[in-house]
Structure 1
Amino acid sequence: MMIEALTELLTIPQLVFAFAITVLAGFVKGATGFALPMIMVSGLASVLPPETAIAAMIVPTVLSNVWQSLRGGGIKAAVDVAGAFKLYIATLLVFIVIAAQLVAALPQNVVLLILGVPIVALALFLLKGRVMYVDPSKRGRMDVLVGAASGFLGGLAGIWGPLTVTYLTAIDTPKKEQIRITGVIFGAGAITLGLAHLRSGVLSAQTLPLSLLMIVPVMIGQSIGNKVQDRLDQKKFRRMTLFVLIIAGLNLIRRAVM
């Protein structure tokens, strides 16, 4: 039954292409801690309907983020790091809910442009060796401000990852801590997205088998990416993250313009 559902959605060449794109997405996720949905949806949507591409990434995204948040420390480490960023997480989720009600108020291309341009600009700024210093005594205020901005844009465009990673990179969050906190934040977002699309019908009996199948290439890619991440020191990890952020921001600008 699962095979029949898959053959109705994809041809064999399309399935091979989907596997290759998903392995790549898993690798980048394992190495940098983010960009899995962006790569999967952008790649798969070139050969599949956008709704099917979104459905395909939901289940593997949830599992990859659970793995990421627990890796190298278990549940206690994930809970500890979530506690350290509780203001950011709470503000982000509240503004996602608020902004989601305003989706019709702004054209999507405007939202994507508003999100993409600052990400590219800040990533280039940091890549040049500049430092964005946040006084530890004012970290709570910045968590709320950036969390609100990220949640607002996330609610409008469904994208809150790049701005979150940009902020964590800017305040020089240690590599392992950044990986855990992004896993917690993205995991919560992916679960919310999955529940929403169960209701919308995007994730259905027809598309769920594809999403389950994509777990395999994601885990293969993420395993390889994790090995790369383990060998990167803080400086190299930071630079690699900034390069991926620039690509992510340019992709958002491309979507806005096109």
Structure 2
Amino acid sequence: MDTLSSLFVPDTAHSLLLTSLVFVLAGTVKGTIGLGLPTVAVGLLSLLMSPMEAAALLIVPSFFTNVWQLLAGPDFSGQIRRMWPMLLGVCVGTFAGAALFPDVHAEWAAAGLGLALIVYALMGLASLQWRIPALAERWLGPLIGALTGIVTSMTGVFVIPAVPFLQALGLNKDDLVQAMGLAFTVSTVALAVNLAFAGAFHADRAGASFFALFPSMAGMMLGQWLRNRMNALVFKRCFFAGMLVLGGHFIWGFFA
């Protein structure tokens, strides 16, 4: 019995509880700041299982929470028209990454995840801000999408470098949250296709992933409630600091 399936055996109720708490936390982060569910979930679950097993477990909750975030935005059709080159790049990069790096060892995948978390955290803590000109967006979008897809195929995390790119487009708050929801939805579907072809996302794991939807949605609702009652800047700093520590843990484990 593999690690993922064993989470749902009665005599491992403590593992089930830990997994549920991870998804409540991940959903809370996403509900509060609009992103972070795969980053938190894969990062913490990778302490218990391989990154790809963790990625398979988050497919359903990631898809539904991202669709929720996407449909709640103000301009779905406009986002599609603007973002389709990047979204196409995400799909190409995800499939190409799986084809080019089919036998990445678990320790290398964990190190890649750690690096992605560290880069993501440092950018967040530094509050880096810049603008991408419209002409550059046309050719940079597909490249950023492809790089994001490659990172996704290797680590299961699809925030780097897509989120910094979207933040540099000068979108207002609602448009940015919707754009992230769109990018994350496409990344989730592409990752699910990859995992299915690799035999890592079959019926049993789909059922386990569906179970994870419920604590994720509960966490997301909690996060939305918290967002209206706390200082978002303080929360973001704590979140990025935690991701920095977690990323450092994976890098240290690779070299230890």
Contact 2:6 2:12 in 1 (8 A): no
Unaligned runs of 5+ in 1: none
1:38 is matched by which residue type in structure 2?
A: T
1:101 is aligned to 99
1:91 is matched by which residue type in structure 2?
A: G
2:140 is aligned to 142
1:159 is aligned to 157
Contact 1:24 1:221 in 2 (8 A): yes
Equivalent residue of 2:130, what SS?
coil
* Cα distance in 2, alignment partners of residues 168 and 65 from structure 1: 16
Q: Is 2:158 the partner of 1:195?
A: no
1:90 is matched by which residue type in structure 2?
A: L
* Cα distance in 1, alignment partners of residues 166 and 31 from structure 2: 17
* Cα distance in 2, alignment partners of residues 27 and 52 from structure 1: 22
Match of 1:206 among 196, 204, 207: 204
TM-score between the two structures when normalised by the length of structure 2: 0.76
Unaligned runs of 5+ in 2: none
Kindly provide the CA deviation profile for residues 30-65 of structure 1, in whole angstroms up to 9, marking residues without a partner as x. 122222122223333434565553332121111111
Query: Residues 138 and 209 (structure 1 numbering): CA distance in 2 closer, same or farther, change over 3 Å?
Result: closer
1:65 is aligned to 66
2:178 is aligned to 180
* Cα distance in 2, alignment partners of residues 182 and 83 from structure 1: 15
Kindly provide the CA deviation profile for residues 122-174 of structure 1, in whole angstroms up to 9, marking residues without a partner as x. 4344x2xx531323443323324433433343344443313211222244432
Contact 2:152 2:187 in 1 (8 A): no
1:123 is aligned to 124
Which range moves more in the overlay, 206-215 or 45-54? 45-54
1:251 is aligned to 246
Query: Residues 208 and 87 (structure 1 numbering): CA distance in 2 closer, same or farther, change over 3 Å?
Result: closer
Query: CA shift at 1:111, angstroms?
Result: 4.3
TM-score between the two structures when normalised by the length of structure 1: 0.76
Query: Residues 54 and 116 (structure 1 numbering): CA distance in 2 closer, same or farther, change over 3 Å?
Result: closer
1:58 is matched by which residue type in structure 2?
A: I
* Cα distance in 2, alignment partners of residues 109 and 53 from structure 1: 11
Contact 1:123 1:166 in 2 (8 A): no
1:90 is aligned to 88
Which aligned segments of 4 or more residues in structure 1 are displaced greater than 6 angstroms?
A: none
